[in-house]
Amino acid sequence: MSTKAERTTAYIIETVAPVFNKHGYVGTSMSDLTEATNLTKGALYGNFENKEALALAAFEFNRNLLLNAIDEHLSIDENAMAKIKNLIEFYKKYDVFTLSMGGCPILNVGIDAQHNNRLLAAAAKETIKEIEGKIALVFENGINNGEFKLPVTPLQFSKQLFTIIQGSIAMASLTKDRKYLLNTVNYLEVLIKRELK
């Protein structure tokens, strides 16, 4: 059973996570945070050392939602090819999945924090590496099970795959046109079939 303080901290993080993700670290004011949570500045700082600590906790919340969804799609009781196809299906609806978060946390926080918050920038970079590693492990298992061969190492292939996916997310976000995401992810299905020989 969690304490009242733990519930308050969890409530604050969950409530401000989409605010930080949508407006960025610099673009989010304390009044944005107090308005979203209906708490005073003192109540917020009673739970977090400073704005940076709160922003980092908010990113971690969104990051964990994303990583859990990826784990769920990659952990189906199927072969490696089916796991990759399942992940691609997830990314077809990625814009819908991230809507309540205020958009893609990797893209939003990664770009926003590059020049103003090294801890957030490092957390976004670490998340990218973790996702690439999860995908690479599936490819490696597929090779070991004799399902397919790759033209490059599993990690290199997963980096290329994830770069294409993130690029389509960026284009869909910037243009407000989800066809960039859908068309690219649909093309990935063809590309994977062709490359995994």
Residue boundaries of the structural domains of the chain:
60-195
The pLDDT tens digits of the residues spanning 3-62 come to: 888 898 999 999 999 999 999 998 999 999 999 999 999 888 888 999 999 999 999 999
Closest CA to 105 of 142, 86, 131, 71: 131
The pLDDT tens digits of the residues spanning 61-103 come to: 999 999 999 999 999 999 999 999 999 999 999 999 999 999 9
- Within 77-134, strands assigned E span none
C-alpha 112 chain-centroid distance = 14
Query: Domain 60-195 belongs to what topology?
Result: Tetracycline Repressor; domain 2 (1.10.357)
